[in-house]
Amino acid sequence: MGASGKLELRSVHKQYAVGRNMLQVLSGVSLDVGPGHFLSIVGPSGCGKSTLLRLVVGLDVDYGGDILLDGNRIAGPSLARGIVFQDHRLLPWLTLEQNIGLSLENSDWSARAKADAIREQITLVRLSGFEKVYPHQLSGGMAQRAAIARALINKPDILLLDEPLGALDAITRIRLQEELLRIWSVEGTTMILVTHDVDEAIFLSNEIVVMSSNPGSISKRFTVALSSPRDRASSGFIELKRQILAELHLYQQKTEAVEDCVDMAALI
Amino acid sequence: MSDLSVAACLVDTKEPAGKPDAVRDGSFDIGSITRRFGSPVGLILPSLIFALWQTAASYQWVEPVFLPAPRKVLEAFWLMLTKQDLFFDFLASMSIVGQAFVYGSAAGIGLGTAAGLSRKFEQFLGMTVDTIRHIPGIAWLPLIVLWLGIGAPAKILVIAKSVFFPLFLNTLQGIRSVEKNYIELGQVLLLTRRQMVRKVILPSAMPNIMVSLRYSAGLSWALVVVAEGLSGLEGLGFLIFRAQGLLLTDQLLVCMIIIGIIGFSIDRQMYALQCRILRWQQGFKG
Ligand SMILES: Nc1ncnc2c1ncn2[C@@H]1O[C@H](COP(=O)(O)OP(=O)(O)OP(=O)(O)O)[C@@H](O)[C@H]1O
Ligand SMILES: [Mg+2]
């Protein structure tokens, strides 16, 4: 179960070939995530957050630097690391329960235990009654919740969440945030959450990393020292939010400035 | 070919997300039944054609030898059914088509899957397949009749060949166009190669496979008539050409109408099967 697995990123670089050019997407990303931590990553669109999660989950081993789990370089995917992709990625030809059950395809549980676990997860994300429904019959938020259930059912040590609550209404969102917190405290799962919502990041995490783009790198790291449960209206909360937003705006202005220069260069 | 009808059949399964029960029992509303079996509008044109035929025969616009009256054709049908072996000939044709379709599509899906999964295997088959494909099935028939005789096996082989290629090519194509995202999901869940093929790759190729199954079912029914006409002493195709030789136009028309109706119902069955298997797909309301 949880509470094992120390994740270390040592100056991770990643580039993609785009046509003939190499596009530097991540540059010198170093990061430690202790067992049982809850880390959030915020940053502008295109700064490489999803790319970073792909590397950590083991889908892409073609990168520079090291990603170490308990000192060993990650060599491929493992059931100990779960991911909720940015798109829900439910298979359209499987019903909701079959999609969630896909995670248990290789477990040695009995059929009964699998069915129970699936039902439990479906209840957890409040999709009861939709077991036999195909993904195209779900709303965006329902599909996202199903994807979360699919990732949770394996009880991974490390769970990577790529904007999992993006398509949800405010109320469902807050409920699922609390649900994530509950799972985190009960299972001791290490959580790495990508989000655009600074409130969400502060509410959930011990630590917040702000990334900047071109190339993607870590611009600042915040420790959240607020006691839990966190009060979104407390002064500490608001002060931290102000600092993080300032950090985000800072580089946004910086990138805008760079783009202005590029525009100028194009004119000349 | 049948892109449009595929889209139409997908509409059947579109149920609002809030009604899981309706989805569970797979029931269809009246509207979808009409769509599947043809709405009354579809009957107008056949009725007009029939009326024209009846009029032409009554007023003898065409000599009865060339266009017998509908009643004569009906009598011929009764005669062929009771005094001759019409039903037996029908079964002979059906059995050839059935076997050829099963063998051809099994081989097409099997080898298509193998070629889709392995580029080496595709390259290994490539030249041979592309050459054989361009020699029409009917051009193979004379040679194969020399080898296997004029009985059913030669026809089964030739028609199976014609069924094989659409399925082979479409399965291959379908497997190659599976979304990379879904493969990645399978990798993250550590699916074995077998599970990946069964749960991800084949279902994703299924729309392609179903389209070519439906297409080649119709094709094989059309081909059996040609094959029986060219060789052999039984089957609907044989009857047609014999009727032509003997100037039995009424019998000729009986066979043509049966072929048309059976072809129509084969296509409808395949369509229903396609809708069932692809009920997970999202269509547009058209
Ligand atoms: N397979 C790929 N080939 C080439 N470039 C890619 C590929 N995947 C991502 N990129 C590029 O890498 C950069 C970072 O992409 P990534 O998806 O990691 O961004 P992100 O931070 O997750 O953005 P968002 O918040 O919009 O999801 C982008 O500029 C994108 O164009
Ligand atoms: Mg992303």
Query: A77: nearest CA in chain B?
Result: B188
Residue environment code for B23-44, b if the CB has 16+ CB neighbours within 10 A, otherwise e: beeeeeeeebeebbeeeeeeee
Question: H/E element holding A217?
Answer: strand A217-223
What pLDDT does residue A232 have? 85
Domains, chain B, in order of start with CATH, read 82-277 (1.10.3720.10)
Report the C-alpha gap between A128 and A144 in whole angstroms.
Answer: 15
Contact B189 A83 (CB under 8 A): no
Q: Which residues of A61-85 are buried (b: 16+ CB within 10 A; e: fewer)?
A: eebebebebeeeebeebbbebbbbb
Is pTM, for the whole model, over 0.95?
Answer: no
- Domain membership flag for residue A147: yes
Q: Does some domain include residue A155?
A: yes
Side-chain-side CA neighbours of residue A267 (13 Å): 6
Q: Is the ipTM of this complex over 0.90?
A: no
Rounded to the nearest angstrom, the minimum Cα separation between A236 and chain B is 38
The answer as to whether A161 is a domain residue is yes
Burial readout B231-269 (b: 16 or more C-beta within 10 A, e: otherwise): bbebbbbbbbbebeeeebbbbbbbbeebbeebeeebbee
Which chain A residues are Cβ-neighbours of B16 within 8 angstroms? 137
Average model confidence (pLDDT) across chain B: 85
In a domain, A248, yes or no: yes
| Residue from the list A79, A85, A137 with its beta carbon closest to the beta carbon of B190 | A79
Whether residue A114 is contained in a domain is answered as: yes
3-class SS of residue B99:
helix
Contact A137 B191 (CB under 8 A): no
We report the CATH number of the domain holding residue A250 as 3.40.50.300
Instruction: Dig out the tokens for B254 from the structure.
Output: 């009986």
Percent above pLDDT 90 for chain A: 61
Q: Please give the residue that has the higher pLDDT: either A189 or B37.
A: A189
Q: How is residue A227 written in tokens?
A: 């006691």
Looking at ligand 1, which residue's alpha carbon is closest to its atom 5?
A16
Does A16 contact ligand 1 (Cβ within 6 A)?
Answer: yes
Q: Residues for chain A: how many in total?
A: 268
Rounded to whole angstroms, how far apart are CA atoms B14 and B201? 24
Pick the closest to residue A39 from A7, A14, A65, A81 (CA basis): A7
What's the domain range around A27? Answer: 7-267
Tell how strand A38-42 and strand A21-33 pair up: unpaired
Q: Which two tokens stand for residue B52?
A: 């024209």
Band of pLDDT at residue B188, cut at 50, 70 and 90: very high
Contacts of B209 (CB under 8 A, 6+ apart): B109, B167, B170, B171, B174
- Find chain A residues with C-beta within 8 A of B282's C-beta: 92, 136
More confident position, A252 or B131: B131
Which pLDDT score is estimated for A179? 83
Looking at the complex, report in whole angstroms how far the Cα of residue A103 sits from the nearest Cα belonging to chain B.
Answer: 6
Number of domains in chain A: 1
Determine the Cα–Cα distance for residues B71 and B271; give it in Å rounded to an integer. 33
pLDDT at residue B2 greater than cutoff 80: no
Sign of CA dihedral A65, A68, A71, A77: negative
Match 């670089």 to its residue by tokens: A13
What spacing in Å lies between the alpha carbon of B92 and ligand 1's midpoint? Answer: 61
Pocket lining: A55 vs ligand 1, CB cutoff 6 Å: no
How far off is chain B from A12, nearest CA to CA, in Å? Answer: 21
Mean per-residue pLDDT over chain A, rounded: 88
**Strand blocks (E) in A34-108:** 38-42, 64-69, 72-73, 81-84
pLDDT for res B22:
39
Residue A1 lies in a domain: no
Angstroms from A59 CA to nearest CA on chain B = 7
Contacts of A126 (CB under 8 A, 6+ apart): A145
pLDDT at residue A131 tops 70 = yes
- Best residue for ligand 1 mutational test, from A12, A18, A23, A86 (most atoms within 8 Å of Cβ): A23
Q: For B232-250, how does the pLDDT look when each residue is reduced to its tens digit (9 = 90+)?
A: 889 999 999 999 999 889 9
Q: Is the pLDDT of residue A259 over 80?
A: no
User: Quick check: is A2 in a domain?
Assistant: no
Q: Which two tokens stand for residue A59?
A: 């889908």
Q: Is the CB of A48 under 6 A from ligand 1?
A: yes
* A134 has pLDDT over 50: yes
Tell me which chain B residues have a C-beta less than 8 angstroms from the C-beta of A76: 187
- Reading the block at residue A29, the tokens are 């990303």
Asked whether A23 lines ligand 1 (CB < 6 A), one says yes
B12, burial (CB in 10 Å: exposed 0-12, middle 13-18, buried 19+): buried
Interface mutation target, options A134, A139, A145, A150, chain B, most CBs of B under 10 Å: A134
- C-alpha span between A204 and A141 (Å, rounded): 20
Report the alpha-carbon distance of residue A96 to residue A149 in Å, rounded.
10
Nearest CA to ligand 1 atom 22: A50
> How many whole angstroms separate alpha carbon B176 and alpha carbon B195?
17
Task: Indicate the pLDDT class of residue B24, thresholds 50, 70 and 90.
Answer: very low
Strand spans (E) along chain B: none
Return the pLDDT at B38: 59
Of B16, B23, B281, the CB nearest to A92: B281
Report pLDDT digits (tens) over B30-43.
Answer: 555 555 555 788 88
Q: Give domain status of residue A75, yes or no.
A: yes
> Can you tell me the distance from the alpha carbon of A198 to that of A240, in angstroms, rounded to the nearest whole number?
9
For A22-69, how does the pLDDT look when each residue is reduced to its tens digit (9 = 90+)? Answer: 899 999 999 999 999 999 999 999 999 999 999 999 999 999 999 999
Q: Is the CB of A45 under 6 A from ligand 1?
A: yes
**pLDDT interval class at A254 (50, 70, 90):** low
CB contact under 8 A, B17 and A133: yes
Average pLDDT over residues A132-156: 91
The pLDDT assigned to A267 comes to: 46
For the beta carbon of residue A173, count every other beta carbon within 10 angstroms. 18
Is the Cβ atom of A25 under 6 angstroms away from ligand 1? Answer: yes
For position A96, what pLDDT does the model report?
96
Distance between Cα A250 and ligand 1 center (Å): 21
Inter-chain touch A91–B185, beta carbons under 8 Å = yes
From residue B210, give the alpha-carbon distance in Å to each of A96, B108, B164, B171, B206: 23, 12, 13, 9, 6
Q: Chain B interface, mutation test: which of A86, A136, A152, most B Cβ atoms within 10 Å?
A: A136
At A260, the pLDDT band (50, 70, 90 cuts) reads: low
Residues of B in contact with A57 (CB under 8 A): 188
